[in-house]
Structure 1
């Protein structure tokens, strides 16, 4: 192949060292990665640091009842938290509009509250530019 035996031997040594390096990298990467595949759950301190409390809102429902509610919105990063704090008026608007479309009977039970939380999460995420809402927690929920 090559005219000089020294060049052939050097070429074989370089290929051998490269293959050993690649195999070592693959083996180390394979055995040191997290086998669960899921990201670790945040600690309670991390959750609290990335949440925003809405003000307590009182609004009319479609059924002429009224609701007094407060939510805690968890976001995924600090920039999203800063953004959600600036968008507080839009947050309140979304909450009031969603509640105004519901009757008191549609807000009874934990499933109904969970549906409302998911709806709020989706609607708020439509506004977000820096990050996203991870979860909406209901803090206060009174219907009269």
Structure 2
């Protein structure tokens, strides 16, 4: 009977060690997968993004542009702050567009450069988090 009790205790201890080891391996694997790719999933991007409705404004040379954006932020707090700052977001976009003319949009990477400029300007006013990326979602030049 004493040997039976000792065997039972050993089995329980071995199972506990195996369970702890399995949980540790799973946790380490999940952390490494997230750290190795470093990029947020599409669900995280959508969760922390703000849509800027279409803006129509004049360019420097008298032409006009219709453009809209989706802005990806770093966190829920950053998204909330950016939503509250919507008038400042529109102001920054309009100010940048007013300094440009239609010829600039014919150059390679002009939209990418504008997205980067808007991102930098918005990060200058953000307090809770930051803007990760600016995506141009529509663009009409007339």
Runs of 4+ in structure 1 displaced over 3 angstroms? 32-39
Question: Match for residue 121 of structure 1?
Answer: 119
CA change 1:35–1:79 in 2 (3 A) is closer
Name which of 79, 82, 85 aligns with 1:87: 85
Question: Match for residue 42 of structure 1?
Answer: 40
Name which of 95, 100, 124 aligns with 1:97: 95
Q: TM-score, normalised by structure 1?
A: 0.73
2:72 pairs with 1:74:
yes
Q: Unpaired runs of 5+ in structure 1?
A: 1-31
Q: Over the residues paired in the alignment, what is the CA RMSD in angstroms? A: 2.0
**C-alpha deviation, 1:108, in angstroms:** 2.1
From the two aligned structures, give the one with the greater helix fraction.
2
Stretch of structure 1 that moved more, 108-117 or 74-83? 108-117
SS in structure 1 of the partner of residue 115 of structure 2 = helix
Question: Match for residue 57 of structure 1?
Answer: 55
CA change 1:130–1:143 in 2 (3 A) is same
Q: TM-score, normalised by structure 2?
A: 0.74
Q: How many residues matched?
A: 114
Q: Which has the larger radius of gyration?
A: 1
SS in structure 1 of the partner of residue 66 of structure 2 = strand
Partners of 2:108 and 2:34 in 1: how far apart? Answer: 31
